[in-house]
Structure 1
Amino acid sequence: MTTKTPLLKVDSIGIQFGGLKAVSDVNIELNSGELVGLIGPNGAGKTTFFNLLTGVYEPTEGVIALGGEKLNGLAPYRITRKGISRTFQNIRLFNELSVLDNVKVAYHSLAKHSMVSSILRLPSFFSGEREMEEKAIEFLEIFKLEPYLHEKAKNLPYGQQRRLEIARALASNPKLLLLDEPAAGMNPQETHDLMNLIGFIRKKFNLTVLLIEHDMPLVMGVCERIYVLDHGQLIAQGSPEEIRNNPKVIEAYLGEEVS
Protein backbone atom coordinates (compact mmCIF):
# COMPACT_ATOMS: atom_id res chain seq x y z
CA MET A 1 0.00 0.00 0.00
CA THR A 2 1.45 3.39 -1.02
CA THR A 3 1.23 6.41 1.23
CA LYS A 4 0.24 9.67 -0.43
CA THR A 5 2.88 12.38 -0.08
CA PRO A 6 1.47 15.46 1.64
CA LEU A 7 1.62 18.68 -0.34
CA LEU A 8 3.36 20.39 2.58
CA LYS A 9 5.33 18.56 5.25
CA VAL A 10 6.94 20.57 8.04
CA ASP A 11 9.12 18.31 10.16
CA SER A 12 10.36 19.56 13.57
CA ILE A 13 10.87 23.07 12.23
CA GLY A 14 12.30 25.80 14.42
CA ILE A 15 14.15 29.09 14.44
CA GLN A 16 16.16 30.83 17.11
CA PHE A 17 16.96 34.54 17.30
CA GLY A 18 19.87 34.88 19.70
CA GLY A 19 18.74 33.01 22.79
CA LEU A 20 15.03 33.20 21.93
CA LYS A 21 13.26 30.28 20.25
CA ALA A 22 10.54 31.96 18.21
CA VAL A 23 9.33 28.64 16.75
CA SER A 24 10.34 25.25 18.12
CA ASP A 25 9.75 21.65 17.00
CA VAL A 26 6.63 22.33 14.91
CA ASN A 27 5.22 19.51 12.80
CA ILE A 28 2.47 20.25 10.26
CA GLU A 29 1.16 18.40 7.23
CA LEU A 30 -1.22 19.67 4.57
CA ASN A 31 -2.78 17.53 1.88
CA SER A 32 -3.74 18.84 -1.55
CA GLY A 33 -7.04 20.69 -1.54
CA GLU A 34 -7.28 21.22 2.21
CA LEU A 35 -8.26 24.47 3.91
CA VAL A 36 -6.49 24.52 7.28
CA GLY A 37 -6.34 27.14 10.02
CA LEU A 38 -3.35 28.23 12.11
CA ILE A 39 -4.38 30.08 15.26
CA GLY A 40 -2.89 31.21 18.54
CA PRO A 41 -2.48 34.28 20.77
CA ASN A 42 -0.55 37.34 19.66
CA GLY A 43 3.17 36.53 19.71
CA ALA A 44 2.57 32.79 19.30
CA GLY A 45 4.87 32.60 16.26
CA LYS A 46 2.28 32.33 13.49
CA THR A 47 3.69 34.98 11.14
CA THR A 48 7.23 33.79 11.91
CA PHE A 49 6.10 30.35 10.77
CA PHE A 50 4.82 31.84 7.49
CA ASN A 51 8.16 33.61 7.09
CA LEU A 52 9.91 30.25 7.44
CA LEU A 53 7.67 28.65 4.81
CA THR A 54 8.32 31.47 2.32
CA GLY A 55 12.08 31.80 2.79
CA VAL A 56 12.08 35.15 4.60
CA TYR A 57 13.77 33.31 7.46
CA GLU A 58 15.86 30.16 7.17
CA PRO A 59 15.06 27.57 9.85
CA THR A 60 17.77 26.71 12.34
CA GLU A 61 16.31 23.23 12.71
CA GLY A 62 13.96 20.91 10.89
CA VAL A 63 12.88 20.45 7.27
CA ILE A 64 10.24 22.09 5.07
CA ALA A 65 9.17 20.10 2.01
CA LEU A 66 6.65 20.91 -0.73
CA GLY A 67 5.51 17.86 -2.68
CA GLY A 68 8.46 15.96 -1.22
CA GLU A 69 11.00 18.59 -2.33
CA LYS A 70 13.07 20.26 0.39
CA LEU A 71 12.75 24.05 0.50
CA ASN A 72 15.29 24.90 3.22
CA GLY A 73 17.75 27.56 2.11
CA LEU A 74 15.87 28.64 -1.03
CA ALA A 75 15.35 32.35 -1.68
CA PRO A 76 11.76 33.64 -1.43
CA TYR A 77 11.40 34.12 -5.22
CA ARG A 78 12.44 30.50 -5.80
CA ILE A 79 9.92 29.28 -3.23
CA THR A 80 7.25 31.32 -5.04
CA ARG A 81 8.18 29.54 -8.27
CA LYS A 82 7.96 26.19 -6.49
CA GLY A 83 4.34 26.97 -5.65
CA ILE A 84 3.91 28.86 -2.35
CA SER A 85 2.38 32.32 -2.32
CA ARG A 86 1.14 34.53 0.51
CA THR A 87 -0.64 37.63 1.69
CA PHE A 88 0.39 39.76 4.68
CA GLN A 89 -1.26 40.85 7.91
CA ASN A 90 -0.63 44.47 6.91
CA ILE A 91 -1.60 44.93 3.28
CA ARG A 92 1.47 45.23 1.06
CA LEU A 93 0.33 46.50 -2.30
CA PHE A 94 2.25 48.71 -4.70
CA ASN A 95 0.13 51.72 -3.76
CA GLU A 96 1.18 54.00 -6.61
CA LEU A 97 0.69 51.33 -9.27
CA SER A 98 -2.65 50.59 -10.87
CA VAL A 99 -4.76 47.61 -9.88
CA LEU A 100 -3.85 45.99 -13.20
CA ASP A 101 -0.12 46.52 -12.72
CA ASN A 102 -0.23 45.07 -9.20
CA VAL A 103 -1.43 41.77 -10.65
CA LYS A 104 0.92 41.93 -13.64
CA VAL A 105 3.86 42.21 -11.24
CA ALA A 106 3.01 38.74 -9.92
CA TYR A 107 2.76 37.33 -13.45
CA HIS A 108 6.26 38.64 -14.20
CA SER A 109 7.65 36.00 -11.82
CA LEU A 110 6.42 33.42 -14.36
CA ALA A 111 7.39 35.38 -17.49
CA LYS A 112 8.61 33.28 -20.41
CA HIS A 113 10.49 35.99 -22.28
CA SER A 114 14.12 36.64 -21.41
CA MET A 115 15.80 39.75 -20.03
CA VAL A 116 17.51 40.23 -23.39
CA SER A 117 14.18 40.28 -25.23
CA SER A 118 12.90 42.82 -22.68
CA ILE A 119 15.89 45.13 -23.11
CA LEU A 120 15.89 44.90 -26.92
CA ARG A 121 12.09 45.01 -27.15
CA LEU A 122 11.95 41.88 -29.28
CA PRO A 123 8.60 40.48 -30.49
CA SER A 124 8.67 37.82 -27.76
CA PHE A 125 8.68 40.61 -25.17
CA PHE A 126 5.56 42.28 -26.57
CA SER A 127 3.68 39.01 -27.01
CA GLY A 128 4.59 38.03 -23.45
CA GLU A 129 3.40 41.38 -22.11
CA ARG A 130 0.08 41.05 -23.96
CA GLU A 131 -0.42 37.57 -22.61
CA MET A 132 0.26 38.72 -19.04
CA GLU A 133 -2.13 41.65 -19.36
CA GLU A 134 -4.91 39.43 -20.71
CA LYS A 135 -4.43 36.97 -17.85
CA ALA A 136 -4.34 39.77 -15.29
CA ILE A 137 -7.60 41.26 -16.59
CA GLU A 138 -9.23 37.82 -16.55
CA PHE A 139 -8.13 37.44 -12.95
CA LEU A 140 -9.48 40.84 -11.95
CA GLU A 141 -12.83 39.98 -13.53
CA ILE A 142 -13.03 36.87 -11.32
CA PHE A 143 -12.40 39.00 -8.23
CA LYS A 144 -14.84 41.68 -9.42
CA LEU A 145 -12.06 44.25 -9.57
CA GLU A 146 -12.24 45.02 -13.29
CA PRO A 147 -14.02 48.38 -12.68
CA TYR A 148 -10.89 49.51 -10.81
CA LEU A 149 -8.48 48.37 -13.54
CA HIS A 150 -6.58 51.66 -13.93
CA GLU A 151 -7.20 53.00 -10.43
CA LYS A 152 -4.22 53.34 -8.12
CA ALA A 153 -4.22 50.57 -5.54
CA LYS A 154 -4.12 53.07 -2.66
CA ASN A 155 -7.48 54.50 -3.75
CA LEU A 156 -9.40 51.22 -3.40
CA PRO A 157 -11.75 50.67 -0.45
CA TYR A 158 -10.14 48.54 2.27
CA GLY A 159 -12.06 45.37 1.46
CA GLN A 160 -11.17 45.67 -2.22
CA GLN A 161 -7.50 46.12 -1.33
CA ARG A 162 -7.68 42.78 0.49
CA ARG A 163 -9.21 41.21 -2.60
CA LEU A 164 -6.48 42.68 -4.77
CA GLU A 165 -3.74 41.32 -2.50
CA ILE A 166 -5.26 37.83 -2.70
CA ALA A 167 -5.64 38.16 -6.49
CA ARG A 168 -1.98 39.15 -6.79
CA ALA A 169 -0.92 36.18 -4.65
CA LEU A 170 -2.93 33.81 -6.84
CA ALA A 171 -1.51 35.27 -10.04
CA SER A 172 1.78 33.46 -9.38
CA ASN A 173 -0.12 30.18 -9.84
CA PRO A 174 0.55 28.69 -6.37
CA LYS A 175 -0.16 25.19 -5.13
CA LEU A 176 -0.31 26.49 -1.56
CA LEU A 177 -1.77 29.87 -0.58
CA LEU A 178 -0.87 31.36 2.83
CA LEU A 179 -3.33 33.95 4.12
CA ASP A 180 -2.07 36.02 7.06
CA GLU A 181 -5.05 37.52 8.91
CA PRO A 182 -7.01 38.45 5.77
CA ALA A 183 -10.00 39.64 7.84
CA ALA A 184 -7.96 42.11 9.92
CA GLY A 185 -9.68 45.49 9.96
CA MET A 186 -12.78 44.29 8.12
CA ASN A 187 -16.37 44.97 9.15
CA PRO A 188 -18.82 42.04 9.59
CA GLN A 189 -20.15 42.25 6.02
CA GLU A 190 -16.63 42.33 4.55
CA THR A 191 -15.68 39.35 6.73
CA HIS A 192 -18.72 37.42 5.51
CA ASP A 193 -17.81 38.22 1.91
CA LEU A 194 -14.25 37.09 2.62
CA MET A 195 -15.46 33.70 3.90
CA ASN A 196 -17.29 33.19 0.63
CA LEU A 197 -14.27 34.36 -1.38
CA ILE A 198 -11.88 31.95 0.35
CA GLY A 199 -14.21 29.03 -0.33
CA PHE A 200 -14.64 30.13 -3.94
CA ILE A 201 -10.95 30.52 -4.79
CA ARG A 202 -10.10 27.21 -3.14
CA LYS A 203 -12.48 25.38 -5.47
CA LYS A 204 -11.92 27.55 -8.54
CA PHE A 205 -8.13 27.21 -8.48
CA ASN A 206 -7.86 23.79 -6.82
CA LEU A 207 -5.80 25.31 -4.02
CA THR A 208 -4.51 24.24 -0.66
CA VAL A 209 -4.95 27.09 1.83
CA LEU A 210 -3.31 27.73 5.20
CA LEU A 211 -5.06 30.53 7.06
CA ILE A 212 -3.87 32.60 10.03
CA GLU A 213 -6.81 34.38 11.60
CA HIS A 214 -8.02 35.76 14.93
CA ASP A 215 -11.65 35.90 13.82
CA MET A 216 -12.81 32.60 15.30
CA PRO A 217 -16.20 32.44 13.54
CA LEU A 218 -14.31 32.81 10.25
CA VAL A 219 -11.80 30.07 11.15
CA MET A 220 -14.43 27.69 12.49
CA GLY A 221 -16.67 28.37 9.49
CA VAL A 222 -14.23 27.65 6.68
CA CYS A 223 -11.44 25.39 8.01
CA GLU A 224 -11.52 21.59 8.01
CA ARG A 225 -8.62 21.25 10.42
CA ILE A 226 -6.89 23.67 12.76
CA TYR A 227 -3.41 23.84 14.27
CA VAL A 228 -2.78 25.91 17.39
CA LEU A 229 0.51 27.59 18.27
CA ASP A 230 1.47 29.07 21.63
CA HIS A 231 4.90 30.51 22.46
CA GLY A 232 6.24 29.03 19.22
CA GLN A 233 5.11 25.48 19.96
CA LEU A 234 2.27 23.40 18.62
CA ILE A 235 -0.18 22.71 21.47
CA ALA A 236 -3.16 21.24 19.63
CA GLN A 237 -4.53 20.12 16.28
CA GLY A 238 -7.85 18.74 15.17
CA SER A 239 -11.26 19.56 13.77
CA PRO A 240 -12.93 22.89 14.60
CA GLU A 241 -15.12 21.11 17.16
CA GLU A 242 -12.11 19.49 18.84
CA ILE A 243 -10.23 22.78 18.96
CA ARG A 244 -13.25 24.67 20.27
CA ASN A 245 -13.43 22.36 23.29
CA ASN A 246 -9.72 21.79 23.90
CA PRO A 247 -8.73 22.95 27.42
CA LYS A 248 -5.16 23.80 26.32
CA VAL A 249 -6.48 26.07 23.59
CA ILE A 250 -8.89 27.83 25.92
CA GLU A 251 -6.11 28.34 28.45
CA ALA A 252 -3.66 29.64 25.82
CA TYR A 253 -6.19 32.27 24.79
CA LEU A 254 -6.47 33.41 28.44
CA GLY A 255 -10.23 33.32 28.36
CA GLU A 256 -10.64 34.66 24.83
CA GLU A 257 -13.66 33.30 23.04
CA VAL A 258 -12.77 30.45 20.69
CA SER A 259 -16.21 29.48 19.49
Structure 2
Amino acid sequence: MLELDRLVMDFGRFRAVNNCSFRVEEGSITGLIGPNGAGKTTLFNLIAGAFHPTSGRIRFLGEDVTGLASHQLFHKGLVRTFQIPHEFHKLTTLENLMMVPPSQPGESLFSNWFAWRRVSSAERDVERRAYETLEFLELTQVAHEPAGNLSGGQKKLLELGRTMMTDAKLVLLDEPAAGVNRTLLRKLETKIEILNRDRGYTFILIEHDMEMIEKLCAPVICMAEGRVLIEGDFETVRSNPQVLEAYLGETTGDAA
Protein backbone atom coordinates (compact mmCIF):
# COMPACT_ATOMS: atom_id res chain seq x y z
CA MET A 1 0.00 0.00 0.00
CA LEU A 2 2.77 2.46 0.97
CA GLU A 3 6.40 2.34 -0.09
CA LEU A 4 9.15 4.67 1.10
CA ASP A 5 12.29 4.62 -1.01
CA ARG A 6 15.46 6.14 0.48
CA LEU A 7 13.73 9.19 1.95
CA VAL A 8 15.97 12.02 3.11
CA MET A 9 14.88 15.19 4.89
CA ASP A 10 17.45 17.88 5.61
CA PHE A 11 16.91 21.05 7.62
CA GLY A 12 19.98 23.04 6.71
CA ARG A 13 22.91 20.90 7.85
CA PHE A 14 20.76 18.71 10.08
CA ARG A 15 19.54 15.44 8.55
CA ALA A 16 16.28 14.49 10.30
CA VAL A 17 15.47 11.51 8.05
CA ASN A 18 18.37 9.54 6.65
CA ASN A 19 17.78 7.18 3.69
CA CYS A 20 14.63 5.71 5.20
CA SER A 21 13.02 2.83 3.30
CA PHE A 22 10.23 0.42 4.20
CA ARG A 23 6.88 -0.88 2.97
CA VAL A 24 3.48 -0.89 4.64
CA GLU A 25 1.24 -3.76 3.60
CA GLU A 26 -2.48 -3.25 3.13
CA GLY A 27 -4.47 -4.41 6.15
CA SER A 28 -1.55 -4.13 8.59
CA ILE A 29 -1.00 -2.09 11.74
CA THR A 30 2.63 -1.01 11.55
CA GLY A 31 4.26 0.28 14.71
CA LEU A 32 6.88 3.01 14.46
CA ILE A 33 8.99 3.40 17.60
CA GLY A 34 12.18 5.16 18.58
CA PRO A 35 13.55 7.73 21.02
CA ASN A 36 12.57 11.37 20.91
CA GLY A 37 14.43 12.98 18.02
CA ALA A 38 14.60 9.74 16.04
CA GLY A 39 12.79 11.33 13.07
CA LYS A 40 9.41 9.62 13.47
CA THR A 41 7.23 12.73 13.34
CA THR A 42 9.30 14.21 10.52
CA LEU A 43 8.75 10.98 8.61
CA PHE A 44 4.99 11.27 9.25
CA ASN A 45 5.10 14.84 7.95
CA LEU A 46 6.79 13.61 4.78
CA ILE A 47 4.27 10.81 4.24
CA ALA A 48 1.32 13.13 4.93
CA GLY A 49 2.56 15.86 2.57
CA ALA A 50 3.43 18.51 5.15
CA PHE A 51 7.10 18.42 4.08
CA HIS A 52 8.69 17.82 0.69
CA PRO A 53 11.61 15.37 0.98
CA THR A 54 15.12 16.47 0.12
CA SER A 55 15.41 13.25 -1.87
CA GLY A 56 13.74 9.87 -2.19
CA ARG A 57 10.28 8.75 -3.31
CA ILE A 58 6.92 7.98 -1.70
CA ARG A 59 4.44 5.65 -3.40
CA PHE A 60 0.86 5.18 -2.23
CA LEU A 61 -1.42 2.59 -3.81
CA GLY A 62 1.10 2.20 -6.62
CA GLU A 63 1.21 5.93 -7.42
CA ASP A 64 4.19 8.21 -6.93
CA VAL A 65 2.85 10.84 -4.52
CA THR A 66 6.17 12.46 -3.64
CA GLY A 67 5.63 16.16 -3.03
CA LEU A 68 1.83 16.09 -3.09
CA ALA A 69 0.21 18.39 -0.54
CA SER A 70 -1.72 17.13 2.46
CA HIS A 71 -5.12 18.01 0.98
CA GLN A 72 -4.30 16.07 -2.19
CA LEU A 73 -3.31 12.99 -0.18
CA PHE A 74 -6.44 13.40 1.95
CA HIS A 75 -8.58 12.97 -1.17
CA LYS A 76 -6.61 9.83 -2.05
CA GLY A 77 -7.40 8.28 1.34
CA LEU A 78 -4.23 9.02 3.30
CA VAL A 79 -5.09 10.75 6.58
CA ARG A 80 -3.15 11.55 9.75
CA THR A 81 -3.96 12.40 13.34
CA PHE A 82 -1.81 14.43 15.74
CA GLN A 83 -0.32 13.84 19.17
CA ILE A 84 -2.20 16.95 20.33
CA PRO A 85 -5.77 16.70 18.93
CA HIS A 86 -6.78 19.42 16.49
CA GLU A 87 -10.49 19.62 17.26
CA PHE A 88 -12.60 22.71 16.61
CA HIS A 89 -13.17 23.33 20.28
CA LYS A 90 -16.22 25.62 20.01
CA LEU A 91 -18.10 23.25 17.68
CA THR A 92 -19.92 20.27 19.14
CA THR A 93 -18.52 16.77 18.87
CA LEU A 94 -21.17 16.00 16.25
CA GLU A 95 -20.35 19.13 14.24
CA ASN A 96 -16.65 18.24 14.30
CA LEU A 97 -17.51 15.02 12.49
CA MET A 98 -20.08 16.52 10.13
CA MET A 99 -17.65 19.08 8.73
CA VAL A 100 -15.07 16.45 7.68
CA PRO A 101 -16.51 14.87 4.48
CA PRO A 102 -15.21 16.81 1.45
CA SER A 103 -17.21 18.36 -1.39
CA GLN A 104 -20.51 18.66 0.47
CA PRO A 105 -23.14 20.46 -1.66
CA GLY A 106 -23.90 22.86 1.20
CA GLU A 107 -20.45 24.40 0.72
CA SER A 108 -21.72 26.01 -2.50
CA LEU A 109 -23.72 29.24 -2.29
CA PHE A 110 -25.42 28.35 -5.57
CA SER A 111 -26.55 24.97 -4.21
CA ASN A 112 -27.89 26.54 -1.04
CA TRP A 113 -30.10 28.85 -3.11
CA PHE A 114 -31.10 26.69 -6.04
CA ALA A 115 -30.59 23.07 -4.94
CA TRP A 116 -31.60 23.30 -1.30
CA ARG A 117 -33.40 19.95 -1.35
CA ARG A 118 -30.18 18.22 -2.42
CA VAL A 119 -28.26 20.14 0.24
CA SER A 120 -30.77 19.16 2.92
CA SER A 121 -30.69 15.50 1.89
CA ALA A 122 -26.87 15.44 1.88
CA GLU A 123 -26.74 17.05 5.33
CA ARG A 124 -29.11 14.42 6.72
CA ASP A 125 -26.89 11.68 5.27
CA VAL A 126 -23.76 13.22 6.81
CA GLU A 127 -25.52 13.68 10.16
CA ARG A 128 -26.67 10.05 10.15
CA ARG A 129 -23.16 8.88 9.38
CA ALA A 130 -21.73 11.11 12.12
CA TYR A 131 -24.16 9.66 14.68
CA GLU A 132 -23.21 6.12 13.59
CA THR A 133 -19.56 7.03 14.07
CA LEU A 134 -20.25 8.44 17.55
CA GLU A 135 -22.15 5.28 18.44
CA PHE A 136 -19.23 3.12 17.31
CA LEU A 137 -16.83 5.24 19.39
CA GLU A 138 -19.22 5.28 22.38
CA LEU A 139 -19.35 9.09 22.33
CA THR A 140 -23.09 9.65 21.77
CA GLN A 141 -23.40 11.06 25.30
CA VAL A 142 -21.19 14.01 24.30
CA ALA A 143 -22.59 14.50 20.77
CA HIS A 144 -23.80 18.03 21.56
CA GLU A 145 -21.00 18.94 23.94
CA PRO A 146 -18.40 21.48 22.71
CA ALA A 147 -15.43 19.40 21.61
CA GLY A 148 -13.11 21.58 23.66
CA ASN A 149 -14.76 20.22 26.82
CA LEU A 150 -13.91 16.58 26.05
CA SER A 151 -11.28 14.67 28.01
CA GLY A 152 -7.95 13.84 26.41
CA GLY A 153 -9.06 10.29 25.67
CA GLN A 154 -12.37 11.41 24.20
CA LYS A 155 -10.54 13.85 21.93
CA LYS A 156 -8.32 11.01 20.67
CA LEU A 157 -11.46 8.97 19.93
CA LEU A 158 -12.89 11.99 18.12
CA GLU A 159 -9.71 12.25 16.03
CA LEU A 160 -10.18 8.60 15.08
CA GLY A 161 -13.81 9.30 14.23
CA ARG A 162 -12.82 12.11 11.92
CA THR A 163 -10.68 9.70 9.91
CA MET A 164 -13.72 7.39 9.68
CA MET A 165 -15.75 10.21 8.13
CA THR A 166 -13.23 10.39 5.26
CA ASP A 167 -13.30 6.71 4.24
CA ALA A 168 -9.55 6.71 4.81
CA LYS A 169 -7.49 3.85 3.42
CA LEU A 170 -4.30 4.56 5.38
CA VAL A 171 -4.33 6.33 8.75
CA LEU A 172 -1.22 7.75 10.40
CA LEU A 173 -1.76 7.79 14.19
CA ASP A 174 0.69 10.04 16.04
CA GLU A 175 1.01 8.90 19.68
CA PRO A 176 -2.66 8.06 20.29
CA ALA A 177 -1.89 6.94 23.87
CA ALA A 178 -0.44 10.32 24.91
CA GLY A 179 -2.55 11.96 27.60
CA VAL A 180 -5.13 9.15 27.66
CA ASN A 181 -6.16 7.32 30.84
CA ARG A 182 -5.87 3.55 30.84
CA THR A 183 -9.61 2.90 30.59
CA LEU A 184 -10.07 5.04 27.48
CA LEU A 185 -6.79 3.75 26.07
CA ARG A 186 -8.10 0.19 26.14
CA LYS A 187 -11.25 1.41 24.37
CA LEU A 188 -9.15 3.22 21.76
CA GLU A 189 -7.12 0.05 21.16
CA THR A 190 -10.31 -1.95 20.67
CA LYS A 191 -11.69 0.53 18.14
CA ILE A 192 -8.42 0.48 16.16
CA GLU A 193 -8.48 -3.32 16.14
CA ILE A 194 -12.07 -3.41 14.88
CA LEU A 195 -11.42 -0.83 12.16
CA ASN A 196 -8.40 -2.83 11.02
CA ARG A 197 -9.91 -6.30 11.24
CA ASP A 198 -13.52 -5.69 10.19
CA ARG A 199 -13.41 -2.52 8.10
CA GLY A 200 -10.12 -2.84 6.27
CA TYR A 201 -8.29 0.20 7.61
CA THR A 202 -4.49 0.17 7.43
CA PHE A 203 -2.60 2.00 10.19
CA ILE A 204 0.88 3.30 10.92
CA LEU A 205 1.23 4.04 14.60
CA ILE A 206 3.86 6.19 16.32
CA GLU A 207 3.83 5.28 19.99
CA HIS A 208 5.99 5.11 23.12
CA ASP A 209 3.55 2.86 24.99
CA MET A 210 5.13 -0.54 24.46
CA GLU A 211 2.06 -2.37 25.76
CA MET A 212 -0.02 -0.81 22.99
CA ILE A 213 2.63 -1.56 20.37
CA GLU A 214 2.86 -5.19 21.50
CA LYS A 215 -0.91 -5.63 21.44
CA LEU A 216 -1.67 -3.96 18.10
CA CYS A 217 1.34 -3.84 15.82
CA ALA A 218 2.92 -6.21 13.33
CA PRO A 219 5.43 -5.38 12.05
CA VAL A 220 7.29 -2.98 14.35
CA ILE A 221 9.88 -0.59 12.93
CA CYS A 222 12.43 1.09 15.18
CA MET A 223 14.08 4.35 14.13
CA ALA A 224 17.07 6.17 15.59
CA GLU A 225 18.95 9.20 14.30
CA GLY A 226 16.66 9.41 11.28
CA ARG A 227 17.22 5.90 10.00
CA VAL A 228 15.58 2.50 10.34
CA LEU A 229 17.46 0.32 12.85
CA ILE A 230 15.38 -2.84 12.52
CA GLU A 231 12.01 -4.12 11.35
CA GLY A 232 10.30 -7.27 12.60
CA ASP A 233 7.83 -8.65 15.11
CA PHE A 234 7.64 -7.07 18.55
CA GLU A 235 9.81 -9.63 20.36
CA THR A 236 12.54 -9.47 17.72
CA VAL A 237 12.66 -5.68 17.83
CA ARG A 238 12.43 -5.45 21.63
CA SER A 239 15.33 -7.84 22.17
CA ASN A 240 17.64 -6.29 19.58
CA PRO A 241 20.74 -4.81 21.30
CA GLN A 242 20.70 -1.68 19.13
CA VAL A 243 17.10 -1.01 20.07
CA LEU A 244 17.80 -1.57 23.76
CA GLU A 245 20.62 0.94 23.59
CA ALA A 246 19.10 3.54 21.27
CA TYR A 247 15.47 3.52 22.33
CA LEU A 248 14.68 1.72 25.56
CA GLY A 249 17.77 2.62 27.51
CA GLU A 250 16.98 2.94 31.19
CA THR A 251 13.33 1.98 30.57
CA THR A 252 14.22 -1.52 29.36
CA GLY A 253 12.79 -3.09 32.50
CA ASP A 254 9.50 -1.22 32.17
CA ALA A 255 9.09 -2.15 28.54
CA ALA A 256 9.91 -5.78 29.19
Which TM-score band applies after superposition, normalised by the shorter structure? over 0.9
Q: Does 1:115 align with 2:115?
A: no
Structure-2 separation of matches of 1:117 and 1:101: 22
Report if aligned partners of 1:227, 1:237 keep a CA contact under 8 Å in 2: yes
Equivalent position of 1:9 in the other structure: 3
Report if aligned partners of 2:106, 2:112 keep a CA contact under 8 Å in 1: no
Q: Does 1:74 align with 2:68?
A: yes
Equivalent position of 1:197 in the other structure: 191
Equivalent position of 2:80 in the other structure: 86
Deviates more, 1:175-184 or 1:186-195: 186-195
* Partner SS state of residue 173, structure 2: strand
Structure number having the greater helix percentage: 2
Aligned length: 252
Q: Does 1:38 align with 2:38?
A: no
Report if aligned partners of 1:98, 1:153 keep a CA contact under 8 Å in 2: yes
Q: Which amino acid aligns with 2:226?
A: G
Unaligned stretches of 5+ residues in structure 2: none
* Partner SS state of residue 172, structure 1: coil
Q: Which amino acid aligns with 2:108?
A: M
Q: Does 1:255 align with 2:246?
A: no
Deviates more, 1:214-223 or 1:126-135: 126-135
Equivalent position of 1:185 in the other structure: 179
Equivalent position of 2:206 in the other structure: 212
Deviates more, 1:14-23 or 1:199-208: 199-208
Question: Sequence identity of aligned pairs in percent?
Answer: 37
Cα separation, partners in 2 of 1:110 and 1:229, compared to 1, 3 Å: farther
Structure-2 separation of matches of 1:151 and 1:114: 24
Structure-2 separation of matches of 1:177 and 1:18: 30
Unaligned stretches of 5+ residues in structure 1: 1-6
* Partner SS state of residue 236, structure 1: strand
Alpha-carbon RMSD across the aligned residues, in angstroms, is 1.6
Equivalent position of 1:4 in the other structure: none
* Partner SS state of residue 193, structure 1: helix
Normalised TM-score (structure 2): 0.93
Normalised TM-score (structure 1): 0.92
For residue 100 of structure 2, the aligned residue among 96, 100, 106 is 106
1:119-145, Cα deviation, whole Å (9 max, x unpaired):
535232222222211111111111111
1:121-176, Cα deviation, whole Å (9 max, x unpaired):
52322222222111111111111111211110011222111111110122111110
Report if aligned partners of 2:134, 2:161 keep a CA contact under 8 Å in 1: yes
* Partner SS state of residue 163, structure 1: helix
For residue 20 of structure 1, the aligned residue among 14, 17, 22 is 14
For residue 150 of structure 1, the aligned residue among 144, 150, 169 is 144
Structure-2 separation of matches of 1:25 and 1:116: 47
Q: Which amino acid aligns with 1:197?
A: K
Report the Cα offset of residue 69 of structure 1: 0.7
